[in-house]
Amino acid sequence: MTTDLTFITNEENNKLVDRFAALIKDSQYFDCLVGYFYTSGFHSLYRSLENTEKIRILIGISTNKETYDLIQESQHSVQTELQLSHKETKEDFSNGIVKELEDSDDTIEVADGAFKFIEWIVSNKLEIRVYPAEKIHSKLYIMTFKEGDRDTGRVITGSSNFTESGLRNNLEFNVELKNRSDHEFALNQFNNLWDKSVDVSDEYVETIKTKTWLNDEITPYELYLKFLYEYLEDQINQDLEDVEDFYRPPNFMDLKYQRDAVNNAKTKLEEFGGVFISDVVGLGKTYIATMLAQRLDGRTIVIAPPVLIDRDNPGSWTNVFEEFGIRQAYIESRGKLDDIIRRGTEKYKNIIIDEAHSFRNESTQSYEKLAQICRGKRVILVSATPLNNTPLDILSQIKLFQDSHKSTLRNPKVKDLERYFNGLQSKLKGLDRQQDKEEYLSVVKE
């Protein structure tokens, strides 16, 4: 493709970033007027700008409507109005940087570009300003050549913002203007806007250094806390519905670890369609599952050993559900699965299975009936010992709510549950959990 082409579209062999690189290496000054400027796109060009004497970036941003109305209604002096406008403009600019870097890729290229940007601001090689009076959506790039070069310079204008996508990826339409008159007109217009703009260079440096992930003063401990927050954000931000909006029996001991377990179980249940509640004996699995049932929409079926549904047992499912005010539930013995099937499960969304490890053998009729009952439901498996003999015990129970060959579990290793668990079973063959404890644990942790 000819290098004399006027239009630049980012198609193959016609990238704006490449044309910039060719022109900027001979430029003494680079002026940029854009509606939006993204630091994360600066890394694409900064190496080409190393020998450029001066860089000016002007962003066409306006204050928000509330600030505009306040300025219009103000009876104070023009200077007061200007100061207020400038203050709000700087705040808007700072907030925009924070939001942009929150959404940007966390890469060394983005970081290098931002640090180079700061370095050039500090050395006064680069200035960045914001035009506060009205929105400017223009995209104008002015390259002024060194004195004595072929001509005064070049102007590129069109659709591309100063972003990675605008410079490389998006299909854009930009035009390169080569006439002296176009260069002089564009530079004159730019200078007029520049003189009326607000300098935000200091705000940029302060924002990057104190309010973004590029802050090099973050301690390892603070970084660890940030990691925990991001990983657990959904759980941290869950409403305390279980405390504020759901009934608790009189004198019920409200324990934080149980509330946390309910929140965690609800998150997993909604994401995967099933969850194990497997605290050791005595930590209140029945209460955790009951409080979880309170928070779920739809009716619930509870399947449990006969002794755990007997009204004469104070801790039975029958009594605990009544104590917590759950009326729309069907509680049945695990020996009466046929009765559940005959009665029908269409009205029920949730299945709680107590002593779930009892259904670890897929070859039994009881398992087949239970699988029929659980199909399309949310499944809550309650057991202190979900693994009794082999990892295949776990597989059988997971299959009550997951497709064994196309699971929705996050770990890519377990997308095919059958292959994963059978492979694990093969590796553990011949190992005794007690006598070969270290080797057994090593295989399980892989």
Whether 85 contacts 60, CB under 8 Å: no
pTM: predicted TM-score of the whole model, two decimal places: 0.53
pLDDT tens profile 117-160: 888 888 999 898 888 766 777 889 999 998 877 789 999 999 88
User: Which tokens belong to 405?
Assistant: 């060959």
pLDDT in tens, 210-234: 766 666 777 889 889 988 888 877 7
- DSSP state letters, 163-221: SHIIIIIS---EEEE--HHHHHHHHHHHHHHHHTSEE-HHHHHHHHHHHSTT-TT--HH
Cβ atoms within 10 Å, residue 318: 17
| Residue 355: per-residue pLDDT | 94
Residue 76 pLDDT: 41
Residue that wins the pLDDT comparison between 262 and 443? 262
Looking at residue 350, what is its pLDDT?
Answer: 96
Q: Which residues contact 72 (CB under 8 A, 6 or more apart)?
A: none
HSE on the CB side for 250, CA within 13 Å?
0
Per DSSP, 279 falls in state P
Q: Which amino acid is at 80?
A: T
176 and 306 inside one domain: no
- pLDDT per residue over 344-385, tens digit each? 999 999 999 999 999 999 999 999 999 999 999 999 999 998
Structure tokens at 185: 């007109």
Evaluate whether 207 touches 97 at the Cβ level (below 8 Å).
yes
* Rounded Cα–Cα distance for residues 270 and 265 (Å): 9
Residue 242 forms part of a structural domain? no
Q: For residue 389, give the DSSP letter.
A: S
SS3 379: strand
Does 229 fall in a domain?
no
CA separation for the pair 428, 79 (Å, rounded): 79
Enclosing domain of residue 105: 7-217
State the pLDDT confidence band at 402, using cuts at 50, 70 and 90: very high
User: What is the 8-class DSSP label of residue 316?
Assistant: S
155/299 same-domain check: no
Identify the CATH number of the domain in which residue 143 sits: 3.30.870.10
pLDDT at residue 290, as a whole number: 95
Poorest-pLDDT segment among 75-89, 256-270, 374-388, 421-435: 75-89
The total domain count for the chain is 2
| Residue, of 6 and 245, whose pLDDT is higher | 6
Please state, in angstroms and rounded to a whole number, the distance separating the CA atoms of residues 388 and 394: 9
Does residue 206 sit within a domain?
Answer: yes
The domain boundary, picked from 161, 189, 217, lies at 217
18 and 89 part of one domain? yes
